[in-house]
Each structure stands twice: as structure tokens, then as C-alpha cells.
Amino acid sequence: MKKGYLVLQDGQVFEGFRFGGPADAVGELVFTTGMCGYIETLTDPSYAGQIVMQTYPLIGNYGIIPEDFEGACCVRGYVVREWCEEPSNFRCQGDLDAFLKAQGVPGLWGVDTRELTRIIREHGVMNAAICEEVPADLTPVRTYAVTGVVEAVTCKEPSVHPAVGEERFRVSLLDYGAKRNIVRELQKRGCTVTVLPASAGAEEVLASNPDGVMLSNGPGDPAENTYQIEQIKKLLGKVPLFGICLGHQLTALAVGGSTYKLKYGHRGVNQPVRDLNGVRTYITSQNHGYAVDGDSLPAGKVRFINANDGTCEGIDYPDLRAFTVQFHPEACTGPKDTSFLFDQFVDLMKGGDR
């Protein structure tokens, strides 16, 4: 077993064992609390630039299942307490170590992920390095910044995904790092989906005369995406629009609201979200480090809030025929509590209210 280290930007060092890719890596260290769904986590492009640490202590026991991939593996590193060398599952096609090796993603195991999670909860997210030798100079770790990541993960060319069954609607999906299940949820509901690169302009989006526009999830600081925000300004009010996660944040910025970085984000599959339009609380899957400041909004109304910390989790813009959520209604590991939001998007495209 080969020793390795996780070195935090403040100089704390954790010794563990290497697995996965052989290179060293620097990234923003974040933790996710999902007890399952590590395949979807590893292949969610929203994690670009980040070293992901799983709080659940045993990871990899159902192996790697390519059918469940959400997109490309964009994490910079992976940290677990223990990984399973002998996965068992009828759909399994390989183990975690082989997957990380093939992706060139360095991993570290055998570290006290509970202690590390405590540190991050108290201090907030920080940068870290997975390395073979503890570096004498931590400047590259301290100065690392997640930037330019939407451009790095978006598709290069448009692609069309036909509706399952008869085509009822045509949706343009702006891909800021889209998870595949967004496309599937739309296809299932009779939508033909045209996936467009994040560089697509509003004119290009509207040129095909879509019934609705969907804005995807994606990595990095939302405020960095000034071009995309300008395009959303031009789209709002012209066509029904639904935004998820980064798409939600960009829409809020487009109407003149603001976003800010959360101390350690929401990442996991059991985040409670209260619907302010009723009495329900939904359990949701989440992966975000930034949030919309609900009080900053010149348009729209906060519809969902996180039951743990009261942060904004969704906004309705009835005058603009748009709505957006910070959580993931398409979550493939689940929970699927909020998949009805895709039905509501369809209702909006039909010309009705949600």
C-alpha cells in the first residue's frame, strides 16, 4: 500500500493511502453526505475543480456502473475512509480504483474523514492537495481558485435527443455542465431536447423556436458567467424557462439579484427543502457551494427554502413564465420527491400555470 497525504491549505496534514490516478492534485476540498450515489457524484460535472470527500465511511460497494454516469468525471481528487475492493452488484462493471485510474483522478483513502468534515464545517471549504510528499511551500494550494470551469465542461457541439414516444414539446437545454438525467426527465415527458453549448447566444437558442428553455446545473462561481447571464436576460419572458442549480443562480443574477458563497455548501441526498406555497417539506439531492440571496431579488418570489439553514432554494417568476430551483429534481440516486417540477415545466409550456 502506497502512502499519501491530504494537505490542507492551512498546513494540516492527514496521512492515508493512495488509490486511483498516480498524479498529485490541488483543488477545493468539499464534503458530500450521500450514503449512496457515489457514481453520480463522481460523474456530476458540477464538481469540476473540487476534491470530493465522502462522509459515508464505505464507498464503492456496488462498483462502477457506466449506465449511471451523469456526465464526464471532472473531480480533481477523491477522498474516502475506506473503498470496497470487491464490489458486488449485477450491474457492476468495475471497481472504484480502476475507474479513478482510467480517469486519471487521484484518490486517497484511510484518512479520518469525520475529523476532516468537522474541520471544514468549522472553517468553511478550503483548498487541499492530494500528494505523495508533503510540499514545503503551500502557496500553490492556498492560491488555487476554481475558475473557467463552465467553459471547460460544456459540450462543444449541439446535439438533439428525441422525445420518448410522440414529440409534444421542443426544449433547448443550455449545457453549463448538465447532468444527463435532466435530458432523460424531459424526454420521458415527450420533449425533444436540443442541448446547446454554454457559449450559445440567446438568438441561437430562440432560432429553433423552442417551447421552453432549460438551464442546467454547472460548476464554479455563478457570478463569473457574465456572458451567460446576459443571454438569460434576453431569454426571460420570451419563452417558458426552468433552471436548476447553476441555472437557478444565473437566472437570479440575470434579474439583478446577487449570489454569495456558502460556508461549506450543501452536498448530499437528504437536504430538506420547505415549499413556502404550502405545508410540505421535500427531501432533495443537492450539490452547491453558492446560494442566491433571497433578499436581493428585484423580481420573482422565493418559493423554496432550506429547512436547515433558511437559505433560498427556489424562486418563482410568474410574470416571466419562469421558475428555478437550487436543488436537483432530476437526481438519479434520488430522492425523487421533486421530479413533479418537470411536470410543472411541461404545464408551463402547454400555456397554463404551474
Ligand X SMILES: NC(=O)CC[C@H](N)C(=O)O
The binding site for L-glutamine comprises 46, 218, 220, 246, 249, 287, 289-290
Least distance to ligand X, CB of residue 173, Å:
13
Name the active-site residue from 28, 70, 313, 330.
Answer: 330
Nearest to 151 by CA among 240, 228, 206: 228
Give yes or no for residue 224 binding ligand X (CB under 6 A): no
Q: Which residue is nearest to ligand X (CB)?
A: 245
Known active-site residue 245: yes
Known active-site residue 330: yes
Q: Which of residues 242-271 bind ligand X (CB under 6 A)?
A: 245-246
Nearest to 34 by CA among 271, 300, 316, 278: 271
- Contact pattern for ligand X over residues 278 through 297, marking x by CB under 6 A: ---------xxxx-------
Annotated binding site: 46, 218, 220, 246, 249, 287, 289-290
Q: What is the 3-state secondary structure (H, E, C) of 200-238?
A: CCHHHHHHCCCCEEEECCCCCCHHHCHHHHHHHHHHCCC
How far, in Å, CA of 123 to CA of 125, rounded? Answer: 7
Identified binder of ligand X from the candidate list 32, 41, 46, 192, rule CB under 6 A? 46
Least distance to ligand X, CB of residue 181, Å:
13
Of residues 74 and 131, the one with the C-beta less far from ligand X: 74
Least distance to ligand X, CB of residue 276, Å:
21
Residue 86: count other Cβ atoms within 10 Å of its Cβ. 8
The cell numbers describing 300, all together, are 420573482
The CA angle 102-106-112, to the nearest 5 degrees, is 135
Nearest to 109 by CA among 88, 78, 134, 66: 78
Give yes or no for residue 107 binding ligand X (CB under 6 A): no
Contact 272, 282 (CB under 8 A): yes
Give yes or no for residue 220 binding ligand X (CB under 6 A): yes
Give yes or no for residue 329 binding ligand X (CB under 6 A): no
Q: Which range, of 86-94, 211-219, 235-243, 305-313, touches ligand X by CB under 6 A?
A: 211-219
Backbone angles phi, psi at 302, to 5 degrees: -65, 125
- The residues that touch ligand X, with contacts defined as CB under 6 A, are 46, 217-220, 222, 245-246, 287-290
Q: Would you name the residues annotated as active-site residues?
A: 245, 328, 330
